[in-house]
Structure 1
Amino acid sequence: MQSRAKTQDNWKRSERQKRIVVGLDDSFVPMGFVEKNGTLTGYDIDLAKAVFKRYGIHVDFQTIDWSMNATELQNGTIDLIWNGYSITSQRKKKVAFSEPYLRNRQVLVVKKKSGIKTFAQMKGKTLGMQTGSTAEQWYESKQKVIHAQSTVLYDQIPNSFLDLNAGRIQGILLDEVYANYYLAHLKDRDSYRVIENKDVPRDLFAVGMRKGDKTLRRKINSALKALQKNGELEKLNEKWFGKDSNYLGK
């Protein structure tokens, strides 16, 4: 049954059950996260609901271990990976992607008092990243750009900020959208520095799914195109980012 889930087209089942399951890390602001009152919210939450509203399908959001997202997908525990999920060549080997809907890049966050102003200055320092993240994949292939003495992997990004503040690590490599949103909501925002690097290419957020789900892919792409055309995608960008700089397709 699990092997069939990898190759079969499950759209008719989803349409019949009027239900689809999205896997996410519920601490990834602003894409999908739990507010203090316990409500799940975020850019991708809004977008997934808008996409499947067009088909009369309810979206169930399931928190997963992000490092196991592809395994959860192939096992049939979830139907989609939709949570600031960047397209990479490594992920393409296991997962099919929708058309991209948001631009992103990897940035380095440090404390200003550390004096670090460039990627190169992480040499001899300890770098934090999320397990299974685009940052981890990029770092493994680009250590000449940012070569730390050691690395620490975290299940969730907020834990890396605890260690950064305590001085246990000196930098965090993470998604720009996360860094900008997270820091903007901190009282001590000015104590941090966000560092970009010209050798870090832009990456693109998209929806991940099983390769057999070709109808699902077409349906998502069609809905994304419609939401782009009618302006709803642009409104979501403005709601969550306050500007339209990351919007694709204008």
Structure 2
Amino acid sequence: MKKQVSLLVLALAAGLALSGCSKKEEAAPAAAPAPVAVSKIVVGLDDNFPPMGFRDEKNALVGFDIDLAREAAKRLGAEVEFKPIDWNAKEAELGGKRVDVLWNGLTITDKRKEQIAFTAPYLENRQIIVVAAGSPIKGKADLAGKVIGVQEGSSAVEAIEKDAATLKTIKELKKFGDNVTALMDLKTGRLEALVVDEVVGRYYTAKKPGEYVILEDNFGTEEYGVGVRKDDGELLAKLQKAIDEMKKDGAAGRISSQWFGKDIVK
């Protein structure tokens, strides 16, 4: 009897051993990677785009978007670097990872959405028409046969192109590296009208009272957003959270009031 019990125990032990060898331990599920902290944000901008981003008399970078970006970076605990770029090549600068974000009066358009991921809009803007004081141009119909200026790579180009009826009457659409140069050409008569972002046009012309006139007609309303690479969803989410918080606690409104005299943040 003892022999039979011993044999039974041995058989059970062998079976358990074989069972243990044949079953692999299930691997524990891999832990989700921890979010990577943002330590530095390189902001690409046009440094001649007042009041969004430009250089003051001491050559320091200042502006509404500069202040917004600084506040957002502060909330993310990140260092911020502002890098002036060729605005006409902004998509290439972003895609080539030479900058992390585009934050400088960047209009949200369907065409740009093909290459850039945007935050929710934070400011509304229009493409206005600026002429020199005393100009016979009173509306869009008077642009026929005239030389019209725009900043190369700006949404003003798309806004005019969308208005096919007006576009076909224009003699020349002259493109400039920046709006400040275009306004100088407008003043000297080398240009007959300028289509420009309203925030820029009103800021600059207000500093030159009596020299320019802003027409009632315009080329439509648009919205500004912050642009990031399409594969950088984590940074986009963090920036959006920071901007939302800035709107909610009034920081964005205070910055707006400093530059525009009132809160125009969307």
TM over 0.5: yes
For 1:102 and 1:162, the matched residues in 2 are separated by 27
Match of 2:90 among 58, 69, 76: 69
Shift of 1:238: 0.7
Corresponding residue number in structure 2 for 1:165: 187
2:19 alignment counterpart: none
Report the Cα offset of residue 39 of structure 1. Answer: 1.0
Deviation at 1:107?
A: 0.2
Instruction: Quote the Cα distance in structure 2 between the aligned partners of 1:27 and 1:191.
Output: 20
State the secondary structure of the residue aligned to 1:190.
Answer: coil
Q: Does 1:110 align with 2:131?
A: yes
Out of 210, 215, 225, the position equivalent to 2:234 is 215
* Aligned-partner SS, 1:196: strand
Give the partner amino acid of 2:89. Answer: M
CA distance in 2, matches of 1:145, 1:70: 28
In structure 2, the partner of 1:233 is: 252
Query: Aligned ranges for residues 1-250 of structure 1 at < 5 Å?
Result: 12=36, 15=38, 18-145=39-166, 147-186=169-208, 189-197=209-217, 200-244=219-263, 246-248=264-266
Q: CA RMSD in A?
A: 1.3
Deviation, 1:140, is: 1.7
Q: CA deviation at 1:247?
A: 2.1
Q: Give distance in 1, aligned partners of 2:88 and 2:162.
A: 18
Note the C-alpha offset of 1:149. 1.0
Q: The residue matched to 1:62 in structure 2 has which SS?
A: strand
1:86-134 Cα deviation digits (max 9, x unpaired): 1001101110001111110100000121221101101111000000001
Query: How many residues matched?
Result: 231
Between structure 1 and structure 2, the one with the greater Rg is: 2
**AA of the residue aligned to 2:124:** R
Deviations 1:28-64 (A, max 9, x none): 0000000011111000000001111111101100000
Give, in angstroms, the shift of residue 155 of structure 1.
0.6
Q: Structure 2: which 5+ residue stretches go unaligned?
A: 1-34
* Equivalent-residue separation in structure 2 for 1:83 and 1:214 (angstroms): 20
Instruction: Considering Cα pairs closer than 8 Å and 6+ residues apart, tell me whether 1 or 2 has the greater RCO.
Output: 1
State the identity %.
Answer: 37
Unaligned runs of 5+ in 1: 1-10
Q: Distance in 2 between matches of 1:98 and 1:27?
A: 23
Note if contact 2:44-2:100 (Cα within 8 Å) is conserved in structure 1.
Answer: yes
* 2:119–2:236 CA contact under 8 A, matched in 1: yes
Partner Cα separation in structure 2 for residue 107 and residue 172 of structure 1: 8
- Secondary structure in 2 matching 1:113: coil
Q: 2:181 & 2:49 partners in 1: Cα distance?
A: 12
Q: 1:166 corresponds to which letter in structure 2?
A: T
Letter aligned with residue 152 of structure 1: K
Q: CA deviation at 1:196?
A: 3.3
- When normalised by structure 1's length, the TM-score is 0.89
Say which SS state the counterpart of residue 52 (structure 1) adopts: helix
**Separation in 1 of the partners of 2:132 and 2:207?**
16
Match for 1:149: what amino acid? K
Offset at residue 241 of structure 1 (A): 0.3
Tell me, in whole angstroms, the C-alpha distance in 1 between the residues paired with 2:216 and 2:163.
14
Q: Deviating runs (4+, > 6 A) in structure 1? A: none
